[in-house]
Chains A and B, each alone.
Chain A
Amino acid sequence: MSRPTTLVQGTLDLLVLKMLALQSMNGWTISQRLKHLSGEVLQVSDGSLYPTLHKLEHGGWISAEWKLSGNNRRAKFYSLTRLGKKALQKESDDWNRLSAAITHIVRLTEA
């Protein structure tokens, strides 16, 4: 409770899927983008991103492709599969329901 930056368990999957829904990118870019977009609130340890990416890849939600990055180096680019799109839809619906419920409860106690 004391560290709000700790990622809620399982939400990293949702975040990665969402990022990749916007555009296909490599691991480094994803980590930078996560830090940036969340205004540095969400601290994803650099290393722990990769097991998540591999898990999603081997589960069939994202697929990988080796392409040249901006500075002309080979990098592994991930993009969403059809299966991943469906999963994202479901995950974000779930998240919305959950967060709405929590927000509702939190407001109640304050009122």
Chain B
Amino acid sequence: MRVESWVYKVPLLLRSVFRRKDLEHELDEELGFHLEQQIEQNQARGMSQEEARKQATRAFGNIEIRKEECRDTWVVAALDHCKRDTRHALRTLRRDFGFTLGVSLLLALGIGANVAVFSIVNSILFKPLPYREPDRLVVVREMTPERDLTPRSVNALHYLEWRKCECFAEIALAEYAQELNLAGQGDPERVSSLRVTPNAFSMLDVVAQIGRTFVGVEGELGNDNVVVISDGLWRRRFGADPEIVGATISLDAVPYVVIGVLPAGFRYHGASNAHVDIYRPWGPVPAPWWTWTNNYSYTALGRLADGVSVEAALDQLNAIQATIAADQFDVENESLSLRAVFTPLHDLITAPSRAGLHLLLAAVGAALVVACFNIANLTLVRARARTREAGVRAALGASRLAIFRGVLIESLVLAAAGTATGVALAGAALRMFTSIAPTDLPRIDEVQMDWTALLVAAVLAVAVTVAFGLLPALRLTRVDPQAALRASNRSVTDSPHSVRVRQALVSVEVGLSVSLLIVAGLLLTSFLRLDAVDRGFDASNVLTAEVGIPWARYADDQAALRFWVSLLTELRDAPGVVAAGVTSSLPLRGYNWGSSAVREGENPPAAERPSIQYRFVSPEYFAALGIPLLAGRSFNSDDYGRTTAILSERAARLLWPDSNPIGRRFYRDSPDEVFEVVGLVPDVHSEDLAKDPAPLVYAPLTAAPVVFRVASVVVRTAADPSPAASTVRNAVASLDRELAISNVETMRQIESASVGDRRFQLMLVIAFGVSALLIAALGTYSVLAYAVTTRTHELAMRMALGARRGTVLAMVLRQGMRPVFLGVGFGIFAALAFGRLLAGLLYSVTPTDPTTLISVVVVTLTAAFLASLLPAHRAARTSLLAALRYE
């Protein structure tokens, strides 16, 4: 029955919406027809035409009211009312622009922050990894509990034993990712490559989008010249050409056949976080280096066998570990044991960021609650001011439903505006987050706007706005028009209790914003001080790039050295280049080549030898990087083949605290390998600007155990260093057409990247701090505005009795600022109490830094003062006449 009625209703509804004019026209015509007929009838009864028309019209009643009555019965009537109410809502909201702006801003902030953060947390922490049954995947690591504090990576020989364990359905091994020169089909480039056992893809249940992944025999020598490439590389370099499968590419001068292209978005989470473009098969081929018993440099990822619990699997694997330890550990290590450690893959990936993200989630959740409180307050102020309007409307015959609908629609319009702004804000925040987030944040490339979160936040926002819009509306609809028209604001006063609650809320908001701003200020100060730290080198006009030469064609050290020397000669002759050098590792990059240094003639036990970092460099490296020579001489080409050394100041102090190091001698590992100190240079930050520089020994390229095949080129230019990239690229290509350069960065960019984590934290805290300040200011405003509205009558009386405007202004300001001062106190107290937790994040600034504290207090008080000024000003302008008019 009901359904059937829609057969008639729907066409009518569609017509009323899309052919409204027709409908109106028909209404005119229908009523007109009736009148005409009546007039004709009247005339037929003998009336004059004029009389006939008059009688007919009188009998019919007011035609416009009749039409309105008809329209009210139309299916479309509800829609009409909504449209009218929306127009009315928009008009009133425009009139109350401050209120509209405040509520939309609060909603936008609350929704935006929550959606953004929830999207991030959900993508990184909650979403399962994109593999089949990801919770059965475990990362296996090893440790010797008597010696190791944390688990280490895996030994490949041990892995071969683990493959026999029935606890795994499958277990795969991966090397660390490395960069290789990809040549053929266009310019050569250096791409990231990872070697994995052939079973890695089948274990994850990943199927190639074109071609296939590895099969078992491809881990064997002779079958292993095959690669699987990423979707990214396929599109970028090969133009998404499906013919790539079966084609041969050259990697470090070795030919490989491409057998497949992986699906878009695939990442082998089992290994390092680096983006990998080329996967090569790994197998136990007869090469000596991977068999080293102390080579723990692999990562192992296993899928647990069906029906085997994690504990049972670990027990089985540890039984195997025990036999390995018995077989392999030498006599000296006999008492040591060897254990396996399981970590669920998902936990391992997300562990470093979990605490931070949870904190973030809690923080935005709290911000949303506070924003809702403020919205409630603002809405109450407004409802109070509109009691009279509702009274007038009721008196003019508006139904309760109509008033109720009006308020409801107004709330919805507000919620819609807030949600839309919030979504835009969330989108912008997400884009900013992913662009400034440190690249080592896991799964950052999987972060995307979460529509569920958006829906939840939007529903919440609508609920809050509507709820706080409706509570007063319900009261309004119960308003007795007569009482409302008498409009006695004074008849309703708030209980002191609710006033105190509101003021406490302001205190909490201010306190929160003060403590956040203090943290932001401290981080900012640290950041600025860090920026001013003496790095020990001159970063202006320096370009760096990584170059790697393939072992396949530069098998002996002399060939490798010849390459580096020719490259530098080539570069030095290039226009615009002032100096060019090569180093095994750049400053601030943190790649370590640590060893020790012992004064010649001494032989302390291993534990007492000082740990010192080694850098193998070309002679002009110091000039290129602008590291001044403090004493002695720099390297020259005669040093190749000799074991000479230049020490950093710290290294020199470590070895010869009291005397001139020049001309002294020390050895690295064995007493046969003696270095002679020829020069002294200042300390250079090798890892983190915030950490003390490590003691460094610079030695000629030839002094390394093998001449490095991968090194960084450092070029100092006369002007802007960026164009030198092509100079380096051309120089490399002129020596070997199959070589490319990678990690092309100016030294300034490296500096900037080295503080990337700090910049990220700083941005987040500043964003939160500023939002909190905004919320606190709005809170101060709304509470005070509410108070002033309820006190209009009292204030008017005071002024009538002779209070000066200034006195009233000061009184209201005092009332507004009281909770603010309390909040500032809370905030400072919290910042001081928890300041110690920040110590690790700060650099050369104490958590009690007075400059920061004072600036934050000034900023907060100014904001709160401005927020209070508006209602105070309004209070001081209260006119007695206006206040008493409605008595």
- A residues contacting B by CB (< 8 A) are 26-28, 31, 45-48, 50-51, 54-55, 57-60, 63, 66, 69, 73-76, 81-83, 86
Contacts and interface: CB of A to CB of B under 8 A. Distances in A.
Contacts of B61: 45-48
Main secondary structure of the interface of B (DSSP, over half): helix
Contacts of B29: 74, 76
B73 A58 contact: yes
A31 B56 CA distance: 13
Contacts of A73: 33, 36
B463 interface: no
B241 interface: no
Contact of B9 (A46, A58, A86): A58
Nearest to A52: B73
Interface string B1-13: 1001111110010
A83 B34 contact: no
Nearest to A84: B8
A102 B73 CA distance: 31
B72 A46 contact: no
B26 A86 contact: no
Interface residues of B, number: 30
A51 B66 contact: yes
B652 to A, nearest CB: 97
A60 B34 contact: no
Main secondary structure of the interface of A (DSSP, over half): helix
A63 B9 CA distance: 10
Interface string B54-73: 00000111110010011111
A83 B72 contact: no
Contact of A60 (B4, B63, B69, B72): B4
Contacts of B62: 47
Contacts of A60: 4-9
16 contacts: A28-B34, A31-B34, A45-B59, A46-B34, A48-B61, A48-B66, A50-B30, A51-B66, A57-B12, A58-B75, A60-B7, A73-B33, A74-B29, A76-B30, A76-B33, A81-B8
A63 to B, nearest CB: 6
Which of A26, A46, A63 lies at the interface centre, i.e. has the most chain B CB atoms within 10 A of its CB?
A: A46
Interface in B746-780: none
Contacts of A27: 30, 33-34
A83 B66 contact: no
Shortest Cβ-Cβ A-B pairs, 3 listed? A60-B8, A60-B5, A55-B73
Nearest to B65: A47
A59 B7 CA distance: 10
Nearest to B8: A60
A46 B1 CA distance: 31
Contacts of A75: 30, 33
Contacts of B70: 50-51, 54
A49 to B, nearest CB: 8
A28 B29 CA distance: 12
A60 B11 CA distance: 11
B69 A51 contact: yes
A51 B33 contact: no
Contacts of A47: 59-63, 66
B555 interface: no
Contacts of B12: 57-58
A46 B37 CA distance: 12
A75 B38 CA distance: 14
Contacts of A57: 8, 12
Interface string B69-82: 11111110000000
Contact of B8 (A63, A74, A76): A63
Contacts of A86: 1
Contacts of A83: 1, 4-5, 8
Given A28-B37, A63-B8, A83-B5, 19 more contacts: A27-B33, A28-B38, A45-B60, A45-B61, A46-B34, A47-B61, A48-B61, A50-B30, A50-B34, A50-B66, A54-B71, A57-B12, A58-B73, A58-B74, A76-B26, A76-B30, A82-B4, A83-B1, A83-B4
